[in-house]
Chain A
């Protein structure tokens, strides 16, 4: 703590600070500004304090949407993470098939969200869509516009199709960086395939997996376009996630105050859950800090 303090360093941080201020902090403050005031137009504002926050936190509409979001993210992570790891493990490590597989994997990632939504919306229609028609012919009563389960299943399949590749590519990059000697040593130690995965591959891809989990969590928790394009949040309110509800409140009903309060709560939830994921995964399997201090 006796290090000499050099204030010049602040000048080097200043440009980044200004950039972040303009791009993030100032817009965020506008939202904060809206969240504590009420307006009836004409640019006249009344102080509302924590009124909107209380309202949002106590509204069953918010609770329901939050519940849907949590369920959706949980399903997405539970499917995409194991599936991504499994696909990454089966990809070839060298040879001419590597670029072919990687490009095939990367293709869905290049497609914009709303296009993915439209593709599946058409794909699932019983009159013109291949999937909907096939389901109809197979005798399955599939209709995402009227049945809650079908709508959810369609959105989940859509997301899995769209984003599992990201997990695959991240895990693959982690897997190919494991030196061959680890596998050789494991063979010599007589380790089974499962043990190789548990003790070598999984610990070695832990860091990229953390990034994959965070990215997939944040993205799935902020899902908007797919359900919006598919059913606009329906049938009923069954696929009305926080983001859709937020847009309805802000632009549909023009309730700027509650919408701003909701945005901030939404943002804090994403931040909090990301932090929880990060901390849990970072500390899992790591040495307890006290024993390390003692040894050093």
Chain B
């Protein structure tokens, strides 16, 4: 078990990178606590798998250092780092039985036979594969195979960390749920540091204590699901987390006053002089749709284009001052004939060149 530190990690697949664009990972600095469950979240091609392989030692980064418990591991192999990794597609040894598969990493490390037997028996129970222990792994279903891949990591009690690379991609939806719950309970039981790569925000938010959001080789934000929801550090985080994502609108801000197109509003916090591209972000959850009389002075005319029913709530899509805005309202709330949108001033985030700016109250 280990605390993992990434010290100024950068990686390029080109042996002679010439420009910033050649780097798949651009300068990543962060520290991950021992026993934490982290999710690396981002769109395809953002570098999350590259980062995972650098942490596990399958890749050596072009720049920077990987530290486990403050010991430099950058040049060590995965075996020497003592980590486990589960891949997107289940990897099993076809010719071995389920039990032999689970025993394999222990046998390779020369662990005593009785100890191997105990651990494998335990793991078969945990993974609910006991009845299939002596079957060839070849004939099992995809989720059972993935459980075996997972089990080969978990039988090594002393691993520094367990890394997952989109492990539930090939699993049926209802099994996904079960396996994810299983992972959570295993995490609580063994308290390994776990790092989980995914592009599915639901998976990330339910699995992890902290979510690391990545975009184009950069880490944009590391935070709890609440932090990502309340204060996205970057407009992309706001947009990527949440369903639908945060509304981002261009705005002019000076001090506490906000000008959105032709509408003036007051913010609760004051901002210093902002340069570059200034925008505000507001989550659809904090946009209310009311009539002109109830909206008051902060209401803005809302041109509704469509309404989608999503269970207990509905998404109202439309335009405010020519910009696209989504609102999330209760299923049974009425939409007036001349609707107005009101933004909850407490929940407005201000962005300068896409990055969050903190105001002073």
Instruction: Give me the interface of A with B, judged by CB distance under 8 Å.
Output: 179, 181-182, 184-185, 187-192, 195, 199-200, 203-204, 285-287, 291-292, 295
Contacts and interface: CB of A to CB of B under 8 A. Distances in A.
B202 interface: no
Contacts of A199: 93, 95-96, 104
Given A287-B136, A292-B139, A187 B91 contact: no
B78 A187 contact: yes
A189 B95 contact: no
B353 interface: no
Given A189-B152, A203-B95, A295 B89 contact: no
A179 B135 contact: no
Interface in B78-117: 78-79, 83-85, 87-89, 91, 93-96, 104-105, 108-109
B58 interface: yes
Contacts of A204: 94
A117 B285 CA distance: 83
Contacts of B344: none
B300 to A, nearest CB: 52
A204 B95 CA distance: 10
A285 B77 contact: no
Select the residue from A182, A187, A188, A285 with max chain B CB neighbours within 10 A.
A188
Interface of B: 56, 58, 77-79, 83-85, 87-89, 91, 93-96, 104-105, 108-109, 132, 135-136, 138-139, 149, 152-153
Nearest to B134: A291
Contacts of B77: 187
Contact of B108 (A181, A184, A190, A285): A190
Contacts of B109: 190
Given A188-B84, A200-B93, 7 more contacts: A189-B108, A189-B152, A190-B108, A191-B104, A203-B93, A287-B136, A295-B132
B175 to A, nearest CB: 18
Contacts of A181: 87-89, 91
A191 B108 contact: yes
Contact of A192 (B85, B91, B94, B108): B108
Nearest to B165: A181
Contact of A190 (B88, B89, B105): B105
A13 B104 CA distance: 49
Given A287-B138, A292-B139, A188 B93 contact: no
